[in-house]
Amino acid sequence: MTTYNKPLPQPNADDEFFWRGCKKHKFLFQKCLDCGLIRWPPSFLCPQCWSGNTTIIEASGKGKVYTYAVYHLAYHEGFKSDLPYVTAIIELEEGPHFLSNITECNPGDVKCDMPVEIVWDDITAEFSLPKFKPVRVTT
Amino acid sequence: MRKVAVLGVGMTKFSGKQTKTAVELLAEAAMDAINESNLKPKDIQALFVGNGLGDFSEGQMQPQAFVADYIGAFNIPANRYENACASSSAAFRDAFMWVASGFYDIVLVGGAETAAKMGTPLATRTFAMGSDSRYESPCGLTFPGVFGLLTHLYSKKYGIPLEKLKQQMAQVSINSHYYGARNAKAHFRKEITMDDAMNSAMVSQPLQLYDCCPFSDGGSAVILASEEKAKKLTNKPVYVVGVGQASAGNLMSQKDYLPRIRSRELASKQAYDMAKLGPKDIDVIELHDCFSIATIIALESVGIFEYGKSGEAVMKGETKIGGKIAVNPSGGLKAKGHPIGATGTAQVYEIVKQLRGECGERQVEGAKVGMTDTLGGDGGTICNAILQRGW
């Protein structure tokens, strides 16, 4: 197994729960108990109503591509072998926008608004990254 | 609040990697500005410096203190501003406020960066620290990707086919290179064609090489003074009649607005309101074209064109000298170059030169009012300033 050489998440006090959830393949978000906003990125208070009254919910991992870009040049050694790779903002069905990568498809097939679902990339013993793949439509 | 004038401006040639440090580049630009103002370094009461990446590029913190000493403005208070690519624009706005408030009469504001020196991989990585690196780095997202995201989003939101939008973006870069070829201080001094742009290397699809500005080394500086001092020292004062600044969170936090940049809409409104002017009054604008799509987006958020319409305006020549508004007659970040800490006050440099009528073959004839627009990160900081001819 080759060593993972891309930048790793740097958990902080507010998002440590998120990365811990990812390791268990749970896609966790904070929800404000006062105004109901499901927020991203994590923070100790709700930016909409300033309440600190928070619960954690598990998101479905379903959403659609809000927008995307396909890298053909790598700025970092670790991404060279992935070229071309897709970065995308995913509009989650729970509301938040989430930055990720689209995998398991030809980069040329990615389109805005296409439905996607979560797929876990277990990158190290400590971290799993939430990534997304197109939802295969069966008729 | 007192009226504040620009007395003198200075700027080094913007370039690729060179041996001069940020301190040396800023000192060179500062002395040009001081000499143009008929002042001596001892007349400067405070120094405000934009420098984003000196810690990484040169292993040097607080270059501002060394610049003050280097030019013989001994022991004056000197502060550094880090607002990513808008660093010296934030410094400019604060310097303006210190003079407007009456606390200082004459201050020096400028910026310098040795971004090219770092080489592209380190420069791209450190520039990316200006967006939300916590969540962008693990995905492999950097600024070319951010603006790639915004390009697809713009195409989707306004129903403009990507092929058409790409042509509009290429025309933005062609215009910048046209003017850059006519600016002796520009990093790139060659014209490009639609074919050059369309056939250039793919970077972060849909962005190609000619959609992206370079990493540059350079410095720029401006002397600001009270109206009273200005009247004694120059018969061509350029007044700073409006300033604005706003911030925003990461791209995901801006979801209700994108591809509009909310912080730009707020900052430009502050500047217009203070100046009691509107977008129609602006003759020339130096705006933040870090990527070609950024020009198209910026022109709309500062109110020059309607949302979704500025690409068409670019194709009709409305953003060239002689059109509705002259956009980036300096060559912009794309061709003039982008030494990030120096970019904001270099925009002021160009506007002042334009208002004074000193730009030769790229002069906007009769320009009376000019505007600057600087973006830090992906909307994290926006600064706008409006300058007006005072004679």
The 10s digit of each residue's pLDDT in B249-265 is 988 889 889 999 999 99
**What distance in Å separates the CA atoms of residue B275 and residue B302, rounded to the nearest whole number?**
14
Q: Which residue has the tokens 């250039």?
A: B200
Catalytic-residue membership of B85: yes
Give the residue-averaged pLDDT of A20-38. 98
Contact B114, B23 (CB under 8 A): no
What pLDDT is stored for residue A34 in this prediction? 98
- B378 Cβ under 8 Å from any chain A Cβ: no
Region label for B332, one of left (φ > 0), alpha (ψ between -120 and 50) or beta (otherwise): left
**What distance in Å separates the CA atoms of residue B276 and residue B270, rounded to the nearest whole number?**
10
Catalytic-residue membership of B288: no
Query: Per the CB < 8 Å rule, is B150 touching A66?
Result: no
Give the residue-averaged pLDDT of A111-139. 94
Give the tokens for residue A66.
């809000």
Give the residue-averaged pLDDT of B183-211. 98
- A11 Cβ under 8 Å from any chain B Cβ: no
CATH 2.40.50 domain residues, chain A: 60-139
Structure confidence by residue, pLDDT tens digits, B311-355: 999 999 999 999 999 999 999 999 999 999 999 999 999 999 999
SS3 B54: helix
Query: Per the CB < 8 Å rule, is A9 touching B251?
Result: no
* B125 confidence band (pLDDT: 50, 70, 90): confident
* CATH dotted code for A60-139: 2.40.50
The catalytic residue among B177, B213, B338, B359 is B338
**What distance in Å separates the CA atoms of residue B39 and residue B7, rounded to the nearest whole number?**
10
Give the residue-averaged pLDDT of B375-384. 94
By C-alpha distance, which of B383, B387, B319 is closest to B353?
B387
Instruction: Compute the nearest-CA separation of B237 from chain A (Å).
Output: 44
Mutate which of B126, B202, B205 to disrupt the A interface (most A C-beta within 10 Å)?
A: B205
Which residue segments constitute the domains of chain B, with CATH numbers given?
A: 4-119+214-389 (3.40.47.10)
Helix axes B63-70, B22-36, angle to 10 degrees: 50
What pLDDT is stored for residue A76 in this prediction? 86
Paired strand residues for A97? A91
Mutate which of B252, B254, B297 to disrupt the A interface (most A C-beta within 10 Å)?
A: B252
% chain B with pLDDT above 90: 90
Check whether B370 has a pLDDT greater than 60. yes
Query: Per the CB < 8 Å rule, is B204 touching A129?
Result: no
Residues of A in contact with B202 (CB under 8 A): 72-73
What pLDDT is stored for residue A2 in this prediction? 64
Check whether A139 has a pLDDT greater than 70. no
What pLDDT is stored for residue B174 in this prediction? 98
**CB-based contacts of B258, cutoff 8 Å, min separation 6:** B150, B153, B251
Structure confidence by residue, pLDDT tens digits, A84-123: 999 999 999 999 999 999 999 999 999 999 999 999 999 9
> What string of DSSP letters covers B116-139?
GGG-HHHHHHHHGGGS-HHHHGGG
Q: Which helix (H) or strand (E) holds B223?
A: strand B217-226
The pTM score is 0.96
- ipTM of this complex: 0.95
SS3 B318: coil
> What string of DSSP letters covers B154-218?
HHHHHT--HHHHHHHHHHHHHHHHHHHTT-TT-S------HHHHHTSPEEEETEEGGGBPPP-EE
Give the tokens for residue B8.
């003198």
- B251 Cβ under 8 Å from any chain A Cβ: yes
Residues of B in contact with A66 (CB under 8 A): 153, 255
What does residue B229 show for φ and ψ, rounded to 5 degrees? -65, -40
Mutate which of A99, A123, A126 to disrupt the B interface (most B C-beta within 10 Å)?
A: A99
- Residue B132: closest C-alpha in chain A: A41
Paired strand residues for A130? A120
A79-113 burial: b if 16+ Cβ within 10 Å, else e: beeeeebbbbbbbbebbbbbbbbbbeeebeebebe
Query: Per the CB < 8 Å rule, is B152 touching A70?
Result: no
**What distance in Å separates the CA atoms of residue B226 and residue B118, rounded to the nearest whole number?**
38
Structure confidence by residue, pLDDT tens digits, B7-18: 999 999 999 999
Within the 55-114 window of chain B, which residues sit less than 8 Å (CB to CB) from chain A? none
Q: Look at strands B202-205 and B4-11 and give their pairing.
A: unpaired
